[in-house]
Homo-oligomer: A and B are copies of this chain.
């Protein structure tokens, strides 16, 4: 069971933060903050998720994102803490949007800073994979044919499982 055990509590520094918000984000501004946190930063890997126009052959007019206030932020913090335990990181930033979004809109930012790129890349992908399978967000597509809840993808679980995490 992917969800069956609790994560150990890991101390997070102020250099790691999570926001769940309706408004858009500015990637440059977020990366600048990460750069300014430490003169040791040599690498920032980051990922931006974008609302696609077509999903499973249906035109998406609008996407609506629901979340579980409190648990969502907590689960993402836990995932970042796990990443910070596994790799030597200098900072991390996750922003996930909620509410109504349109095709082409940014949905999520995961940015990780480190001394060297290998750790930043791995941690960024790890956080994104676990966010996809563990953070309580739900997408509803509002199409010309009506509303429908998006189904979870098996490939997202495969992506998370390849990290072989012991929980």
Whether A49 pairs with B43 at a CB distance below 8 angstroms is yes
Whether B43 pairs with A121 at a CB distance below 8 angstroms is no
Judge if A28 is at the interface, Cβ distance under 8 Å: yes
Choose from B39, B103, B124 the contact partner of A52 (Cβ within 8 Å): B39
Give the shortest distance, in Å, between A30 (CB) and chain B (any CB): 9
Q: How many copies does the complex hold?
A: 2
Whether B52 pairs with A42 at a CB distance below 8 angstroms is yes
Contacts A31-B27, A39-B103 known; A47 to B45 CB distance under 8 Å? yes
Chain A to chain B contacts (Cβ below 8 Å), 7 pairs = A35-B104, A40-B54, A41-B50, A42-B51, A46-B46, A46-B48, A47-B120
Q: Give residues in A with beta carbon < 8 Å to B.
A: 26-29, 31, 35-36, 39-54, 103-104, 106, 113, 115-118, 120-121, 124-125, 128, 155, 159
